[in-house]
Amino acid sequence: MLMAAPKSLVDAPYMLTTVEDLKKLSLEDIKNELENYAANPNYLKLIAEYKNEIAGVIDFKNGNKDKVAHQGSFAMTVLPQYRNLGVGRALIESLISWARKNETIEKVCLEVMEDNLGAIHLYKALNFVEEGRKAKAIKMNGRYQDLILMALFV
């Protein structure tokens, strides 16, 4: 997974994490994060594989305080060669299925850049609804973008 993560970020203008961000992580940091996911029944990390290569990753974390524990957010990336083939849909559908069976999770949230039209279309097709916007939340190459807040009650 460590080798695939940077590849998935090379052509991923909509991911908030960059290759440079990942380079700052030590092997111990990554190990600790994976152990946190394994230990928390309200965290989920799924990996889509094709022929022993990572095709995509989705991770979900719920709120860490009692009043917000019923909701959480996910982030997802799909390697460029696997985009528009249903990998992202399969990952999200798996997350939704898991969330519906989870006794704590009631709401799945996400943030998406306003010009990521393909992702927005997918989320709407899966019944996510827009809840609001964070104006000029992203700045890339001197240009601002809003983040659209979307959610699905499970």
User: What pLDDT is stored for residue 4 in this prediction?
Assistant: 47
Instruction: Give the model confidence (pLDDT) of 106-146 as tens digits.
Output: 999 999 999 999 999 999 999 999 999 999 999 988 999 99
Instruction: Name the pLDDT band for 102 (thresholds 50, 70, 90).
Output: very high
User: What pLDDT is stored for residue 95 in this prediction?
Assistant: 98
Whether pTM > 0.85 for this model: the answer is no
Q: Which of 2-6, 81-85, 133-137 has the lowest mean pLDDT?
A: 2-6
Q: Where are the alpha helices (DSSP H) in the chain?
A: 4-10, 19-23, 27-39, 87-101, 117-125
Among candidate residues 131, 90, 89, 94, the one with its CA nearest the CA of residue 110:
131
What are the beta bridge partners of residue 83?
none
DSSP secondary structure letters along 22-46: HHT--HHHHHHHHHHHHH-TT-EEE
DSSP secondary structure letters along 57-75: EEEEEE-SSGGGTTEEEEE
CB 25 within 8 A of CB 75: no
Give the domains, in start order, of the chain with CATH numbers: 4-153 (3.40.630.30)
Q: Hey, is 151 helix, strand or coil?
A: strand
Q: Scan for tokens 């979900």, then name that residue.
A: 60
H-helix or E-strand spanning residue 49:
strand 44-50
Average pLDDT, the chain: 88
User: What pLDDT is stored for residue 134 in this prediction?
Assistant: 98
Instruction: Name the pLDDT band for 64 (thresholds 50, 70, 90).
Output: confident
Q: Which residue has the higher pLDDT, 28 or 7?
A: 28
